[in-house]
Amino acid sequence: MGRLENKVALVTGAASGIGAACVERFAREGARVAGFDVSEEPANWATLVADAPESLYRAGDVRDEQGVQATVRAVEERFGRLDVLVNAAGVGGGGPVHMLPSEEWDRVVDINLKGTYLMCKYAVEGMLERRAGNIVNIASIEGLEGTEGGSAYNASKGGVVVLTKNLAIDYARRGIRVNCVCPGFVDTPLLRSIFDQNDLGPVRERIADAHQLGRLGRSEEIASAVLFLASDDASFVVGHALVVDGGLTAGHRYGISEMLGLA
């Protein structure tokens, strides 16, 4: 029996990266899965949900309040309820603030933070009626500490971390658990596009090496952490920001391990 057997899950950002990995893992664990993404249904959607008893895909923008509400309602009408919401939709962006157009700030914060708020706003309504539900937000280690040039992205993900805690405080006693995952740098199409567009190959290598494992994360590794929080295995985990970062925030390396033959 899968860890999400008979559960209904809605995943935003479902067309690629961490969102797609969550869809695939949830389907393997027995969930009926709905995907929501700004992209039209991806060519590999049928493959992602091959193990799901039922599935649904809707294209839309998490900044569109009417579209968000309609999507949540469509899931509830199709499957009878919504048990798990995963907010994985997100974009990168930022820069030193004196170089950052206000439109870019708004775009990043609106998608990453406001989009999370809107999805939670409408998902919570049905969860409150049933006195049961589970929300997992995808934040970032960049929401826990500063990153060079991060500004808008860091601010948006920091907002997701604290919003998660507030949601947990507000709804835990009504049977709704809310947590977030804070990944390190994960090898997704979004991250690759940022490095490629800005000719940041050497920076990518330095970032990968800064993780104690010496590499970037994989989307399926983050999906495993999301699965844990979404399952009953995490029944006593509420308001937590789970760091899954390959040791990036554990501390610093100065070459001593190499001197001792440990690297």
- Active site residue ranges: 153
* Pairing relationship of beta strands 84-87 and 32-37 according to DSSP bridges: unpaired
DSSP state, residue 179: E
The two tokens of residue 68 are 């968000």
Q: Where are the alpha helices (DSSP H) in the chain?
A: 17-28, 45-48, 65-79, 102-109, 115-130, 151-171, 189-197, 201-210, 219-230, 256-259
CB 37 within 8 A of CB 20: no
Which residue from 118, 108, 234 is spatially nearest to 167, judged by alpha carbons? 118
- CA-CA distance, 172 to 108, in Å (whole number)? 29
- Per residue, the 3-state secondary structure of 248-259, as one string, reads CCCCCCCCHHHH
**Total Cβ atoms within 10 A of residue 250:** 11
